[in-house]
Structures are given as C-alpha cells and as structure tokens.
Chain A
Amino acid sequence: MTLFLQLDFAALSAAVLACLACGLLGNLLLLTRQSLLGDAISHSVLPGLVMGFIVTGTRATLPMVLGAMAAAVIAALLISLIRRLARLEAGAAMGVVFSGMFALGIVLIEVSGARAVDLDVDCVLYGQLEALIWPAATGFSSLWDPAALADMPQETRTLAGVLALTLAGLALLWKELRLAAFDPDFAASIGFAPRGLSLVVLVLVSVACVAAFWAVGSILVIAALVAPAAIARLLTDSYRGQFLISAAAAVAMGAGGYGAAIAVPALLGLDHGLNAAGMMAVVAGFLLVLAWAFGPYGRSRRVAMA
C-alpha cells in the first residue's frame, strides 16, 4: 500500500484531476460548438513555455507555466479578435492562430538552443506522468499529513488548485454560463455580457490546459476536454446531468487509463510499459463508443426515430 502511495498515487491523482478539470470545462466548449478551442490552446502554449524557459534560463516550472498561460490567453484573445474583425468562422480563426503560434514555438526552440537542454518533444506530447512520485508517503496517514502533502509533486498540487478554481468558477457563474452558452444575444440584451463570460471560460480553459499539459501532455489535454463532454451528451439531456456524467466519465478515463497502462502490459506479457496518457485517450474512446451504442441519445435514439 505504501508502495502504491509512493509510486502511483501522485500520478494517478494528477491524471484524474487533469481529466476532471478539463472534462468539466469541455462541456462549455461542446455546448457552444467550440471543442476545437482546446486543441488550439494546447498548441498555442508552446511559444509561451519556450519564452518562459528563455527568459529565466532554467526549467523551473513557474516561469514556464506563467509564459504558457500568457500565450494561451493571447491565443484566445487573438481568436476572438480575428473572428470579430475578419468575420471568420470560429474553426478558421482557431486554425490560423494555433498553427501560427505552434510554429513560432518550434522556431523559438530551434533558435534559442532550448532543444539541447531537454525541452523534448516526447514530454510535450505525452507529458511526464510516470515521473510523478511521492516518496514522502509512509501510509494512509500521509493523505492528511500536511508535511507529507507538501512533498507531493508540484504538478499534482497545481492540478488540485486548478480543479478547485474550475469548480469555484462553475459554481459562481452556473446560471450565467448556461445563459451565455444558450442565447448570447438575449444574455447581452439583459446586461449579462456574453463576451466577458466567454473570456472567463477561455481563461479557465487555458489555465486547465496548461496545468494538465504539464502533467499529461498535449494529446491527453484535447482528449480530456472533448471526450467526457461528448460521452455525457450521449447519455443525458439535462444541463446538470451533463456536468455530473462528464465528471464521472473524466474520473473513469483518468483512473481507468492509468490502471490500464499498468495492467495491460502485465496481462499481455509485454516487457515494456504503455504510455498512460495514450491509454486514457483509448479508455475515453472506448467509453464514447459504449455511450453511443447503448446511451439514450446515441445509436438507439436514431433507431427509435427511424
């Protein structure tokens, strides 16, 4: 048990926390048909990460996270600016911004020599979940021992903070976000500025993306943003249900994917481990297929309507 806490608990928590924060916010993107925004943001943070590294010259987490968040917010603002000024469709604006900023990040890596100092591509794509360990854990009592908790990897603690921020934002703006997502014109007409609210969503998504990105990589970020919300959409027609089911799906995806990454190689007798972030995306895809096949709003509804 102590071994589990030391070797797996921090990583498992990071996975579940990242999936929960992203999965809950993903609902707001899905319901406003902006799911691609997560992909845009997770690519756009790259130049910010590199700038954080260049400015400080170290791989310290804080400056890079700050740089990434600045880049994410800039990307989100650029996207909404391009949409309004050029009157481009959202997908087109995102495509322009995120490919441009990702390319800028690659160029910055090349010209700054950051590549030599292990800002490596694998870490960006898959994250470093396996590196999250908690050597200070001595048993279950460590879970409520402040000294031991302070020794948790910073990624896990950051993700816990981000999830708390996400939950606070959703609780505080519950009715406002629903209003702006459903009918932005009406929201504006009664003085609930939808532009300000969508900016709040963008900032929350950016923060969650960056924190999750750090722990679990860019592939999982987009899967965690889209998959839980999509699964819930197939299972419920209620707004509260959408968030509750997406939360359950996010936990299943995070814990199931992490567990599968350990269990599957053992079952198949493989001599190398499987990537946890990749397995989470696989689990999410599997859940999505189940929801489509058996959920009340998936395949069966279409059959019933035909």
Chain B
Amino acid sequence: MSPTPSALELRNLSVAYREAPVLQGVSWRAPQSGLTAIVGPNGAGKSTLLKAALELVPRLSGEVRFFGQELRQARRRIGYLPQRASVDWDFPATVLQVASMGRYPRVGWFLPLPRAERERARAALAEVGMADFAGRQIGQLSGGQQQRVFLARALALEADLYLMDEPFAGVDAATERAIIDVLHRLGRDGRAVIAVHHDLATAPQYFEHVCLLNREVVAAGPMEAVFTPENLSRTYGGRLSMLDEAALRPSSPLRQPLRAVP
C-alpha cells in the first residue's frame, strides 16, 4: 500500500461484449496526478476500460479503486467526459443547461438548480471560451464547440480525476488548443486526467504518462520511457502507418518535449 494512492487502480479487470472478450486481465496503476494518455488500436478496449471502471458496462472480473476507494465512495471526485458522438445533439437543451448538469451532484435529487450553481456552470463555460453561447441550443454548435460544452460540464464537477473519452476527436485546431490548455491547467492544479487518445503524433506533446493498451496493458509509465517504437509496434501488432512511424522518430519535429504553457 503506497502512501499516495493511485487515482485509478485496476486489478485483473476483464470485460466481454456477448462472448467476445474486450479486456483481459488488465492491471494498471495510473499516476496520482498529471496527464495520462490511453493509447491503442481500434477495438483495443480503450473506451471500454473507462466505462468498465465507472461501472457503465458490466465487468466479468476484477477490482477498481479510485484514490484507494470504491467507486461509490469516490464518485464525487471523478469526472467523466463521454464521447461527443454518444449523445443526440438535437436534444432540446441550451449550452448552459448542459454545462449545469456538472453541478447536479452538488444540488442533489429533486431540487431545482440554485442561481449560484448556475453561475458556477457559466464560469466553467467561460473557461473553455463558450460563455457567449450560454443560451444557444446545443444543436446549433459546431463539433468543436459541442466538445467544449462537454468539457465545461466536466469542469463544473470540480473533480480530482477526469476520465475523458477521446476529447480531441473531430475538433478544430482552435478547440484542440483550448482543450489542451485546460488539461494542462488541471495538471498544474494537481488533478489527474486520463484520456483516451488516438493521435500518436500528438500524444507525447500533450501527455506526461501513457498506458499502451490492446485488450491488455502492453506497457505503461512515463511517456519518454514507454512511448518507444518497440512498445508501439507490440501494441499495434505491426499495423502502424508510415506517417505514425515518422512521427515517432527521435528527430521528428512532432516529438518535442512537453512545453509548459505560459
């Protein structure tokens, strides 16, 4: 038992959809804070890992601890950012209404949202540059703007650990920049962020730690030590594209070390 418990610890986690195994005996201790990427090929079980940890999909076996506690005790410290495509954006709701959902745990059941909580949600929107869109219907936003609203909702939770499912999927460059700024601020504040990430070129720039996953953990640890061509080809089984390999060469301009954001 370490003095500072891991933000997320998985012990022998296995998940199957119907008969097909998705995750097999995954054991992993995520760092206590900082930014961690979960990287792996399509169908590697990256999203499933997050969902199984949050008990959104049933697990066959294994244990999950958040900060050394069961999910039930730690729920208030966890923020989940689902994939943007997992909801119907035609739903009649405003940007502020969606962001306010991040304050529901503070409000509790049955009660309407107090004005102060709504203002906290508005502040979270401001943090991702969406304050001017508060009254807008969510269906009228671009994909990147929708992703920012989801991020604002997660920020409104004020969690210590964020589990993010592809936060950069299908967003414009400005949004990608805005999201990474927010992630870095969370990291500086001592929060933990675990994000499913599919872009090998940007992974070493954005994240400090990495978990290479393909149904089981291939390797995990600090980015420089783990994010090697050997480990990646073990993870992807030789399915890396030329472009991705180029990005991984030590001389590549894409492999600059993580720079502190002013």
Residue total for A at the interface (Cβ-Cβ under 8 A) = 27
A273 sits at the interface (CB 8 A): no
Q: Contacts of A124 on B, CB cut-off 8 Å? A: none
A31 sits at the interface (CB 8 A): yes
- The residue in chain A whose Cβ has the minimal distance to the Cβ of B93 is A239
Q: Contacts of B18 on A, CB cut-off 8 Å? A: 87
Pair A237/B92 contact, Cβ less than 8 Å: yes
**Size range of the interface on B?**
20 to 34
**A179 is contacted by which of B51, B54, B101, B112 (Cβ under 8 Å)?**
B101
B133 sits at the interface (CB 8 A): no
For window 95-121 of chain B, which residues contact chain A by CB distance below 8 Å?
97-98, 101-102, 104-105, 107, 109-110, 112-113
**B92 is contacted by which of A87, A176, A236 (Cβ under 8 Å)?**
A236
CB-defined interface of A176-191 with B at 8 Å, one 1/0 digit per residue? 1011011101101111
16 further A-B contacts with Cβ under 8 Å, apart from A175-B107, A182-B93, A186-B101, are A31-B92, A87-B18, A176-B104, A178-B93, A179-B101, A182-B88, A182-B101, A185-B80, A186-B80, A186-B82, A190-B80, A190-B157, A191-B105, A237-B92, A238-B92, A239-B92
B139 sits at the interface (CB 8 A): yes
Q: How far is the CA of A41 from the CA of B58 in the complex (A)?
A: 28
Q: How far is the CA of A179 from the CA of B157 in the complex (A)?
A: 14
Q: How far is the CA of A236 from the CA of B92 in the complex (A)?
A: 8
A172 sits at the interface (CB 8 A): yes
Pair A185/B51 contact, Cβ less than 8 Å: yes
Q: Contacts of B157 on A, CB cut-off 8 Å? A: 190
- The residue in chain A whose Cβ has the minimal distance to the Cβ of B87 is A183
A241 sits at the interface (CB 8 A): yes
- The residue in chain A whose Cβ has the minimal distance to the Cβ of B140 is A237
Contacts A188-B55, A237-B139 given; indicate if A174 touches B104 (C-beta within 8 A). Answer: no
A242 sits at the interface (CB 8 A): yes
B153 sits at the interface (CB 8 A): yes
For window 17-62 of chain B, which residues contact chain A by CB distance below 8 Å?
18, 51, 54-56
Which residues of A line the B interface, CB within 8 A? 31, 33, 87, 172-176, 178-179, 181-183, 185-186, 188-192, 233, 236-239, 241-242
Contacts A181-B91, A182-B91, A188-B56 given; indicate if A176 touches B109 (C-beta within 8 A). Answer: yes
Q: Contacts of B110 on A, CB cut-off 8 Å? A: 172-173, 176
Pair A241/B92 contact, Cβ less than 8 Å: yes
Would you give the shortest CB distance from B135 to chain A, in whole angstroms? 10
- The residue in chain A whose Cβ has the minimal distance to the Cβ of B113 is A175
Say what secondary structure dominates the interface of chain A. Answer: helix
Interface-central residue, B102, B109, B157, by most chain A CB under 10 Å:
B109
Pair A182/B104 contact, Cβ less than 8 Å: no
Pair A175/B104 contact, Cβ less than 8 Å: yes
Q: Contacts of A237 on B, CB cut-off 8 Å? A: 92, 137, 139
Would you give the shortest CB distance from A114 to chain B, in whole angstroms? 42
Pair A185/B82 contact, Cβ less than 8 Å: yes
Would you give the shortest CB distance from B163 to chain A, in whole angstroms? 8
B94 sits at the interface (CB 8 A): yes
**B97 is contacted by which of A176, A178, A191 (Cβ under 8 Å)?**
A178
B15 sits at the interface (CB 8 A): no
B86 sits at the interface (CB 8 A): yes
Would you give the shortest CB distance from A34 to chain B, in whole angstroms? 12
Q: How far is the CA of A165 from the CA of B112 in the complex (A)?
A: 19
Would you give the shortest CB distance from B52 to chain A, in whole angstroms? 12
Q: How far is the CA of A31 from the CA of B88 in the complex (A)?
A: 9
Pair B153/A186 contact, Cβ less than 8 Å: yes
Closest 5 CB pairs of A and B: A189-B80, A237-B137, A239-B92, A183-B87, A182-B91
